[in-house]
Amino acid sequence: MSVATRTIRQILELRQGGITNGRVLSAIERVPRIRFVPEALAHQAFENVAIPIGHGQTLSQPLVVAQMLEALEVGPHMKVLEVGTGSGYQTAVLAQLCRRVYTIERHRPLMVQAENRLRELRLHNVTTRVGDGLLGWPEQEPFDRVVVSAAAPEPPESILAQLSVGAILVLPIGTQGREQSLMRVQRREQGFERELLSKVRFVPLVTGVDVMS
């Protein structure tokens, strides 16, 4: 089966999974997930499964990525912060949806690989940083949208503080080994509105940078 055929099948599966946002589906269709998985696991690239990418990290299921981005409601002129670059796959999809992506990864080898992939795809609206995702990116705040690709017990105050009024944060809430849920947080003039979405399973959000990598 060709890559094009597998991509079409993947988009159909996402629609069947409840994804209706046309911009999100089009962005996913334009980004070849197979470019972001380890070569030994390339046969799983178009399956709705999480894929290990090293350093204890995973590439999330396509349906989960789509659910997060649909909940994020990204507009074409927005500035987006991504905490947890990982393989760079979600970064590449975000780059199709917004004006600029600022993405942070604590594992330097993963970031180097992600940067190479983004460069090969000629995505020039992405700014990268190896650092502590829990700190966010204060120099570039406020952000219109923030997506966190690791689970925290509660939305980090440092990241909430970097949201503009009206901005949306999507992240998994919970601890490793226990039930986790996607949460959508929107900043209002008088505080934050929170909504729980689907059940998920993510690696934990860890502070600091992996200096051993």
**Which run of H or of E encompasses 59?**
strand 57-59
Peptide bond into 142 cis (omega under 30): yes
Torsion of CA 144, 74, 71, 33, to 10 degrees: -120
Q: 130 forms bridges with which residues in the sheet?
A: 105
Mapped onto helix, strand or coil, the DSSP state of residue 171 is strand
User: CA 151 from chain center: how many Å?
Assistant: 12
- Which positions are annotated as active-site residues? 60
Q: State the burial class of residue 186 (Cβ atoms within 10 Å of its Cβ: 0-12, 13-18, 19+).
A: middle
CA distance to 31, 118, 161, 176, 189, per residue, from 156 (Å): 30, 28, 9, 16, 19
CB 19 within 8 A of CB 11: no
User: Which of 60, 50, 83, 51 has the alpha carbon at shortest distance from 209?
Assistant: 83
